[in-house]
Structure formats: structure tokens, C-alpha cells
Structure 1
Amino acid sequence: MTPRLTYGAALGMLCVIWGSTWLAIKIGLEGAPPFLSASLRFVVAAVTLLVLSAVLRSRLPRGRVEWALVVFYGVLLFTVDYGLIYWGEGNGVASGLSAVLFATFPFQTAIAAHVLLREERLSVQKLAGIALGFGGVLVIFRGQLVTASGLAVPMLAIVLAATCAAVANVAVKRWGHDADPVSFNGVAMGTGAIGLAVVSLVAGERWAAPSWPAGGGAILYLAFAGSVVTFVTYLWLLKRIEVTSLSYIAFVIPIVAVSLGYVAGNEVLDALVLAGAGMTLAGIWFSTSKWVTAGVHRAFS
């Protein structure tokens, strides 16, 4: 399999799995409070990855810079980012709307990359493609946006979660060249899980075994499929392609979420949903197309 096909298959897998995790988080919150649920998810994932790291003899972080990076990544992404997501969904934001709000991630990633990565500068092409892609997501979830009154703070929390994820990923892109996807994520998730446990205690959440199957089943799915598989794959891709291009999966994830909802009988695929999906995919193509890049260069040269 060529590198291009390998990357495409990995991206497709991420979109399918992460497209299902928004609903899984919502289901899991029926059986455990937000911060405890998130902490347990990353405890299971961290233990799994650290055991796998020992078996594979993966390279652990070394030196102050790498340890500072892994702790920064763990706290910002797994404690703050996921803490905000779980709290937002636990306070009334629907899973589909959460995916829409998190779709600000590519725009925020592009800005962070422009500041921190010399090789990934903002361009008219990127901005136009991101705007088109996000517009498509808004079209798909137009109904949920209209009915989301009174949820300003939880919605803002999920937008801020996207900010944290953007900064964390760009930081790893810049300083994490030697990071091993398995061991790095294992340590980072362990750090994040500890942070979430502290937040859970401070928030006064009741610690008890998650209900089954809602709480426990969702936590296991989110730990193994939604964390171990996805974040190892994501970090592997992050070392090989542009962080901004990789962030575009946040546009595809809502489409996958709607498609899964349609299969389950909970969503309707009308003409506007299909048009929105087309806009989103067109935006991704526009942002990454070499043909468009060449045309823009000719137009402004």
C-alpha cells in the first residue's frame, strides 16, 4: 500500500471512530458524572498504552523538554479539552451540536500553526477552504443551532475545548519530533486522567462504579477505540502531514455522526444535509488541492 493510501485509510478510520464518540460520550454520561467518566476513560487508555509500550519497548520521553511537552499535552488536551467537552455535553449540549462547535478546530489550528510553525503559514486558500467547510457543517446542523437557546456557556466551553486541542497539537507538531505515539500518549493520558480526577473531586462529583452498560460500556469503547486506537494513529499522522490538513477531520466527523444517526434511525438525510456535506468536502478539497494552490499563486504573482 502506498503512503498516500495508508494515510487515507488512517484518516478514514479516525473519522469513523471519532464520528461515533460524541454520541458515546452522551450515552456514558447517563451512567457516570462528567469529569469522573472522562478520567476513567483515560485511566483505562493510559494503562493499556503503557503496558503496550513496555511490551514493544517503546521510547519513553527523555529530558526536561520532552517531559514538559508530554505534561503540557496531557493537561491541555486530556484534562482541559476533554473536561470541557464532557462538561458541555453533561450540561445540555447535544452530541451533534458538540461536533459542530468543535468544528472550529481547523480554523483555530490554522491560526496556531501560523504562529508556531514556519512551514505552515495561513493563506487565502486555507482560509477560504476552512470557511467553506465550516459553512457546510452549519448547514448540516442548522436545526440544532436554532434550538440551542440558553446553552451559551456550555457551548462556549466546547469552542474553548477546540482551542486547547489546537494549541496542544501544534505544540507537539513543533517540539514532538521524537515522540513515540504509544508511550507519549500513554504518559499524556495518565497525566490527563489524574487532572480530571482532581477536578472531579473539587467539583464534588459522587465516586461510584459506572452503571452498566451505559456508563461502563461507553467508557470502555471510548478508552479503547476512541483513545488508544485513535490518538496513537493521530500522533503517527501528525509526524507525517501538516497539522492544519490533519485538523480537517473535524469537518468530516459531523458528517459521519449524522450518517451513523441515519443508520440508527435518529437522523434525517434531507437535501440540505447532503448539500452541507458537499460543501464541507469541497472546502477540504479547496484547502488542500495543488491545482487551487497553483491557481492562487498565478492570480497573485
Structure 2
Amino acid sequence: MPAAPATTRLLIILAFGAIYLIWGSTFLAIAWAVETIPPFLMMGLRFSVAGLTIFVYGLQRSGKAMPTGQQWFWGAVAGILMILVDYGALSWAEQYVPSGVASVVMATTPIWLVLFDGRQRSQLLTSKTLAAGIGAGLVGVWLIYWSSRQAVSGVGVTGSRYVQGMAALLIASVSWAVGTLLYRDRNTEVNVPTRMGMQMLVGGSLLLVVSGLAGEWRTFSVGHVSTTSWLSLVYLITLGTLVAHTAYLWLLQVQPPALVGTYAYVNPVIALLLGWWLDDEPLTLVIGLATLIILGAVILIRRA
């Protein structure tokens, strides 16, 4: 009997390792993938393949009961906001913004959740902790924008492209927040894998359509894709999506949600260190300070 608790503890450690390390490393994997694969095509392939796999698994768990038209509608809303816009903008931005910086900007999602949620926004006038968290987060975003712009200006990234990339990251973060608020009370009767697979499948398919409309198919050549980009795409589909998402869903069933949610604090740190170590991305004192400010702001917001 003692073996069972020990096995469970090991699985919990491995699952936390997955959502900490794997999710933290996906930002660098995206940067490597879009070096030779167009961004919308790359993300479309990632979520179409992973979404179909997860959707089929969810159907098997539910006795192969297909979602209704209304459920597909809300799945499409989530897919558009949380996959098409969020991940599409993220992959495009990482052509011009360092992956570690991108991860820190994406960590600001809780700020937008508060600002767009009427119930939480009303607390800004009464909760000093919440107001301080929002203010600190916005200061952190400005600091990391200013510092990283100075750092990348010397490595061949034009100022206008960098500004556009940062704007795309903010759009991605806001889109995820809006999608979360619109979708949080929808499709709750659908099992989680099917629900997740629906939004990935819709979002991934639309990313492929956008890729075609953007002309990526005309300029794309399989022969020009580097081994690093192929391996990064496979990593994003398998470990980054299938394994890490499964670990996350399982942890929510066996651990307190607040503890599972700590991945939001760890991922940016992992991404910054990996980008600096493996890809020579800038890691200045100001970027480090801004990261601490943003993570501290997220902690204040969650406590409030």
C-alpha cells in the first residue's frame, strides 16, 4: 500500500515539472519554430493536430456524444479569442521580440482580467491591494518595453517592428482575458478534454486559413525549414500542448487550484533564463526588475 502514495507524489512532481518547465520553454520553442516556418502556419499546425487528438480523446470519454451547435458556437468564440488571436499574435510577435520578454508581457493577463470584469473592476476603488497590483503591473510592462527595446536595437531589430511586436503581445494578452471571461460559464456540461479540443481545433483551423490569406503558403517551402524549426514544432505539439495540458488538467483534480496556478509566476522566469542561456537574448538588470514587479503585481491581484 505505501507504494501508491509514493507513486502519486512522483506523478505530482512530474506534472508540476511539466507545467513549470515545459510551458516555460514553449516561448523559446516558438521563437525557434518561426525562424523558418511562417508564424500563422506554424501555430495552425500545432493546434490543429493537438486539438484533433484531444477532441477525439474527449469524445471517447463521453461515449462519442458530439457537441451541439450551440456548444460549437461557444467553442468557436473561445478558439477565435484564445487560440487564433492570442497565439497568432504571440507567434507573429516573437519574430521581433525576445521570447523571454514575450513571456513576461503575457504574464500580465490577470491585469486585463480585472479591468474587463465589471465585478472585479468595481473593487479598484475599495481595495488598495488590487489597485496597487494593477498599477505595479502597468509600470512593469512599461519598464520591460523600454529596457528590452534598448537591448534589441543593437541586434538588427528595427524600432518600428519591435513596437509592433509589443503591441501584438498586449493584444494577445487582452484577447486571452476577454476569451476567458466570455467562456468561463459556457460549455461547462462538456467534459474538459472535448471542450479544450474544440477551441484548439477551431482556432488552429482558422490560423491555417489566416496563413493562406496572409500569403504564407505561397512563400513557404518545406525544403527551407531548418531541423531546429521542425523539432520545435514537434515539441510544441507533443510536450508543449498534449503533455503539459494533460498534466495541468490532472493537477487541478488532485491539488489546490491556487497551487497549480503558480505556473504563471514560474513560466516567465524559465523563459527569460532559457532565452538568455540558449539564444543569447538580452537579460538586463532592468528587465529582471520589471519581471519581479510584474510577478509581484500578479500576486497582489490574486490575493485581492
Q: TM-score, normalised by structure 1?
A: 0.75
> Relative to structure 1, is the Cα distance of residues 209 and 183 closer, same or farther in structure 2, using a 3 angstrom cutoff?
farther
Q: Please list every run of 5 or more consecutive structure 2 residues that lacks an aligned counterpart in the other structure.
A: 6-10, 154-158
Q: In the alignment, is residue 144 of structure 1 matched against residue 162 of structure 2?
A: no
SS at match of 1:31: coil
What's 1:209 paired with?
Answer: 222
> Relative to structure 1, is the Cα distance of residues 51 and 169 closer, same or farther in structure 2, using a 3 angstrom cutoff?
same
What's 1:260 paired with?
Answer: 274
Q: Which amino acid aligns with 1:150?
A: S
Q: Shift in Å at residue 36 of structure 1?
A: 0.9
What's 1:221 paired with?
Answer: 235
What's 1:66 paired with?
Answer: 71
**Which residues of 2 match residues 1-301 of structure 1 at below 5 A?**
13-57=18-62, 62-90=67-95, 92-112=96-116, 114-115=117-118, 118=119, 122-123=123-124, 124=127, 125-133=129-137, 135=139, 143-146=147-150, 147=152, 149-151=159-161, 152-206=163-217, 207-209=220-222, 211-231=225-245, 250=264, 252-261=266-275, 264=278, 266=280, 275-276=289-290, 278-289=292-303
> Relative to structure 1, is the Cα distance of residues 127 and 7 closer, same or farther in structure 2, using a 3 angstrom cutoff?
farther
CA distance in 2, matches of 1:263, 1:280: 22
CA distance in 1, matches of 2:292, 2:105: 19
Structure with more contact order per residue of length (Cα contacts < 8 Å, sep ≥ 6): 2
> Relative to structure 1, is the Cα distance of residues 144 and 257 closer, same or farther in structure 2, using a 3 angstrom cutoff?
same
- Worse-matched range after superposition: 15-24 or 27-36: 15-24
Query: Is the 8 Å Cα contact of residues 61 and 70 (structure 1) preserved in structure 2?
Result: no
SS at match of 1:177: coil
Q: Which amino acid aligns with 2:178?
A: V
SS at match of 2:216: coil
Q: Please list every run of 5 or more consecutive structure 1 residues that lacks an aligned counterpart in the other structure.
A: 294-301
Q: Shift in Å at residue 138 of structure 1?
A: 5.9
CA distance in 1, matches of 2:14, 2:295: 16
CA distance in 1, matches of 2:87, 2:193: 19
Query: Is the 8 Å Cα contact of residues 108 and 173 (structure 2) preserved in structure 1?
Result: yes
SS at match of 1:32: coil
SS at match of 1:150: helix
Deviation sequence 1:12-33 (CA, Å, 0-9, x none): 7434323211111110012311
Q: Which amino acid aligns with 1:158?
A: L
> Relative to structure 1, is the Cα distance of residues 58 and 139 closer, same or farther in structure 2, using a 3 angstrom cutoff?
farther
CA distance in 2, matches of 1:134, 1:182: 34
CA distance in 1, matches of 2:301, 2:17: 18
What's 2:156 paired with?
Answer: none
Corresponding pairs, count: 279
CA distance in 1, matches of 2:272, 2:257: 27
RMSD of Structure 2 on Structure 1 (CA): 3.7
Q: TM-score, normalised by structure 2?
A: 0.74
Q: Shift in Å at residue 202 of structure 1?
A: 0.9
Q: Which amino acid aligns with 2:24?
A: G
Deviation sequence 1:263-289 (CA, Å, 0-9, x none): 548468776666555544443443344
CA distance in 1, matches of 2:240, 2:34: 15
